[in-house]
Structures are given as C-alpha cells and as structure tokens.
Chains A and B, each alone.
Chain A
C-alpha cells in the first residue's frame, strides 16, 4: 500500500497567516490526491481533488499543488473557520490511503 505522510502533525497559526501543509507519498501517485477538512465531531469535507482542483463552494484562499510524490495545501490567509484538521488522501491505487492529519490550531 502507498503510505501518505503529512507534515507538520500540528501547526499553530494566527488569523491572517499563510499556512502550508505538506503531504508526501511513498511512491508516485501522479495527481490523484485529495485534501479534506474535518472539524471536531463532524464529517470530513472535500476541499481539493486531483491535487489542485478546487471543489465547488470552497473558498479561493485554499489551493493545492504538486504531483508525483510531493504535494502541498496552502491557505493564503487563515480565517477563524479554518481551524480544523486536514487530511490528504491518495486515490491512485488500492488501498486508498490517508495521511495521518494536520491539526491547525489557534496561536
């Protein structure tokens, strides 16, 4: 199975900060990567698919980039609603696998 490793595991930031989360795959997954946001007690929500495509209705401050084995999720200006845990997930091959998550906390 392809392993997905996110860094950092926890990130402390302030409103207005630019935030970047990295996700690395143990082998090439082309651009078959999605990013999800999860708030406590809630279901995950799709933010980005195919590494850089923004899901309908997701604010444009979210962006994704990368291909092959290295990917990033960037929040250009962190808003109060963005404090949550973020997961990357590869869907290049079975079993689909998630990163361990990055918790974005208030500094």
Chain B
C-alpha cells in the first residue's frame, strides 16, 4: 500500500527554522517527483513547491512566497522527502501535506498530485 507520512511539525517562533520529513513506502520513491502543499487554518490549499526525480536532475520549483526561505530535498536511499523552512513567518502557519506526483509527458513534463499524506501542523507564533 502506498503511504506518505509527514513528521516534524511543531510550534516555533518567528524567524526560526524547522525541517519537515515525508517518509514514504509502498512504491519506488526514486521514480517519482514529490511536492509539498499547505493549508492555513480555515483556508484553502496552497502549493509550496516540488522536487523532480533525481534522474531528471532533482531540481526544484517554489511558490514565490517561500522562494529563498524554503528548500525541498530528497534522499532516494531512504525514500524520504524534506522541506527545510527557514526565516519562518506567522503566515507560514498551516498543515503541511506531502504529495506524490504523477508525471505525464506531452511536449513538456506535467505533474499532478495522486497521493497525499495526512499532514503535519506547523505553528509559527511568539
């Protein structure tokens, strides 16, 4: 069974750092790109960023609001994706979901989120 389990969520002060982990099982991790999505309390979904497969360069893309502060990485040997969050702001308070990405090629690469973890809660407050 495919499973994604997020961990690392915590209460942190503004300006501090936190690293989230997404531990996966049930599929060949290296064959997939991985993404993070967040949801502020009572709000909608916001895509945070993603990492391509290592075989595709492992490069990353981010939403503008976290660019330069957040970094997504992956460890294929452990089947884990990470979200390093630095210089945290109160507006980063949210449930953070890890998602697996299904890739489609049609003159370009396109990805959609086919499996989601249950999420981990990050609260940024003094």
Contact = CB atoms under 8 A, between A and B. Distances in A.
B45 A44 contact: yes
Main secondary structure of the interface of A (DSSP, over half): loop
* Residue from A38, A45, A46 whose CB has the most chain B CB atoms within 10 Å: A46
B12 interface: no
Given A43-B97, A43-B117, A87 B44 contact: yes
Contacts of A94: 61
A74 B1 CA distance: 29
Interface string A63-107: 000000000000000000000000101011011111111000000
Given A32-B110, A44-B97, A49-B102, A95 B116 contact: no
Main secondary structure of the interface of B (DSSP, over half): strand
B114 interface: yes
A1 B118 CA distance: 27
Contacts of A87: 44-45
Nearest to B35: A96
A34 interface: yes
A91 B112 contact: yes
Contact of A43 (B47, B104, B118): B118
Nearest to A55: B114
A96 B37 CA distance: 10
B44 A49 contact: no
Given A44-B97, A49-B102, A50-B104, A98 B46 contact: yes
Given A34-B113, A44-B113, A50-B104, 8 more contacts: A43-B117, A46-B114, A49-B114, A87-B45, A94-B61, A95-B61, A98-B45, A101-B44
Interface of A: 1, 32, 34, 36, 38, 42-46, 49-50, 55, 87, 89, 91-92, 94-101
5 contacts: A42-B118, A43-B119, A89-B45, A99-B44, A100-B44
